[in-house]
Amino acid sequence: MTPAPPQWRPWVVVVGGFLGAGKTSLILSAADILKKRGVRCAAVLNDQGDELVDTGHAGLRGVASRAVTGGCFCCKFSELLSAMEALRNDAPEVIFAEPVGSCADLAATVLRPLREEFDLCRVAPLTVLVDPVRSAGLQRADANEDLAFLFQKQLQEADLVCMSKADLHPDAAGPAGVQPRYLSAKTGLGVEPWLDEVLAGEMAAGTRTLEIDYGEYARAEAALAWLNLSLTMESAFPVTPAMIVGPFLDSLDEAMTAAGISIVHLKLIDRSPSGWVKAAICVNGEEPTVEGDLVASPAGRHELLLNLRALGSSSQVRQIVERESSRLDGKVLDMRLNCFSPAAPKPERRVVNTQPSSAAHEVEP
C-alpha cells in the first residue's frame, strides 16, 4: 500500500439519486477512468441495512471500499468520517460517496459538514443521478406520492443533475426546469466530462438549502420495505452462478407482482469458486441488467446476497422472500434475513447556511 501523505486531502464526490438510478455503476465506471489516469480512488457505500451487494461488487471490480450501514450518511456522519479515515492507507486521491437511494437533505447534513472539515478533504459538487424511466413515472399525476416526494427533494438540492442510461434513452427529457448532463456508465458516454467538471474545483458544493418537512420525509421513507438476504448454499448438483441468479430473480419478480408489491430496486449477486454474476431490476417485469462471469464453470457452492427495496408491507415482503428462498434447489448452510421499514431520519449535523464558513449555524431538523 502507498502511505497517505501527511497533508492527504482527497476529493470527496457525493453521488446521490433515487434507488436504481445507477449510482454504483457510475462510480465504478469513473473509477476505471481515474485508474487509467493513474489517480487512486476508493468508495464509501451506504445502506439502511447491514449487507450490501454493492460493497462486494466494488471489491470484485478492484475498487477499495468501505460501507456505512444501519442508516443514511446524514444520520451516521461520524461513521462516514471514520470510513474515510479507514481508507487512509490506500491513499485515494478521490473518494466517491454513495448515499442511500431514498436519502435527501444531503447538502445540509453531509456536504456542508464535510466542507467544514476543510483540513480533511475537498468537497466536489453534489451530483444527483436520474433514471429517465423513473423520472418520467414519478412526474406523472398518478405517481406514488411518497416516492415522488423523495425524488423531487433530491432534485431540488442538486448542484448537478445527470441523466443516467443515456445509451438506452439518449433523447430522454430531463425533469422540468432542469438542464441535465447525459451519462452512460455502460458505454462511458459523458462520464469523463462529468469527472472533469466535478473535480475542477470551479463549482461550489452544497449550495442549495433544502426546505424539507422531516415528518413527511420520515413517512415517505417508511413506505418502503428494505430487505437484505444472504445465504450460503450447496446446490443439488453443480450449476453456474447464472443458473442460480436468473431463476431466483424471476421467481421473486413474479411473486412480488402477484402480490401487488412494486419493486423499487432489486439487486442479486452470486459468488462461487468459479466466478460471479450480478443482476438487477428497478421495476416489476423489467429485463434485468447483468454483469459478471456468464460463462463461469458449474460449481457446487454458492454465496448469494439479495438487496430488495419494495413499496409495500415489510412483513409481506419478508414472507415472499422466505418462501422463494426455500425453493432454491440445494442445501442452505447459513442464512441471514433482515426486513424492515427505515426509521425516521435524525441527522447528526445539519448546517443550514450556504457560505463555507467555520462559523456555520447548526440546527436540529
Do residues 132 and 106 touch, judged by C-beta distance below 8 A?
Answer: no
Q: What backbone phi and psi angles, to 5 degrees, belong to 294? A: -70, -20
pLDDT per position as a tens digit, 239-274: 999 999 999 999 999 999 999 999 999 999 999 999
SS3 3: coil
Q: What backbone phi and psi angles, to 5 degrees, belong to 115? A: -65, -30
Distances (CA, A) of 354 to 97, 125, 157, 327: 21, 13, 12, 53
Tell me: pLDDT of 51 over 90. Answer: no
Q: What backbone phi and psi angles, to 5 degrees, belong to 249? A: -60, -45
pLDDT of residue 49: 77
pLDDT per position as a tens digit, 119-143: 889 999 999 999 999 999 999 999 9
Question: What is the number of helices (H) and of strands (E) in the chain?
Answer: 11, 14
pLDDT of residue 54: 65
Tell me: pLDDT of 32 over 80. Answer: yes
**Pairwise CA distance, residues 227 & 338, whole Å:** 6
**Cell numbers at 102, concatenated:** 431514498
Beta bridge partners of 15: 127
Q: What backbone phi and psi angles, to 5 degrees, belong to 354? A: -105, 0
pLDDT of residue 6: 57
CATH class for the domain made up of 224-340: alpha beta
Angle, nearest 10°, between helix axes 191-198 and 23-36?
A: 80
Cα radius of gyration (the chain):
20
pLDDT per position as a tens digit, 73-112: 999 999 999 999 999 989 999 999 999 999 999 999 999 9
Tell which wins on pLDDT, 353 or 360. 353
Do residues 211 and 194 touch, judged by C-beta distance below 8 A?
Answer: no
Residue 355 pLDDT level (bands cut at 50, 70, 90): low
Percent of the chain with pLDDT over 70: 93
pTM for this one?
0.91
Where along the chain do its domains lie? 11-221, 224-340
**Pairwise CA distance, residues 8 & 119, whole Å:** 9
Tell me: pLDDT of 158 over 80. Answer: yes
**Cell numbers at 92, concatenated:** 485515494
Spacing of C-alpha 354 from chain mean position: 26
In eight-state DSSP terms, residue 304 is E
Residue 91, Cβ density class (10 Å: 0-12 exposed, 13-18 middle, ≥19 buried): middle
Residue 365 pLDDT level (bands cut at 50, 70, 90): very low
Looking at CATH, the fold of the domain delimited by 11-221 is given as Rossmann fold (3.40.50)
pLDDT of residue 181: 95
